[in-house]
Amino acid sequence: MAVPNYCHHSFNLLKSESTLIQWICSMCHSGPHWYIFECKYCKLKTCRPCTNKA
């Protein structure tokens, strides 16, 4: 899924309640992470360092 460049990101923290759900960063592809930051507008999922770059 393409991420629009014009989105004014507003990130919310998503935490995994179990070991079954893990996320991979959409920008740098690092992971798996137990928590991830998701933009409430475009649903971009990023790790903590990439949140500052987006």
Tokens 């999922």: give the residue: 45
Looking at the DSSP assignment, which residues form a beta bridge with residue 11?
39
Residue 4's pLDDT is 54
State whether residue 51 is helix, strand or coil.
helix
pLDDT (tens, 9 = 90+) of the chain, 54 residues, equals 555 567 889 999 999 888 788 899 999 999 899 999 999 999 999 999 999 887
**Pairwise CA distance, residues 16 & 44, whole Å:** 17
pTM for this entry: 0.78
What residue spans define the domains of the chain? 11-53
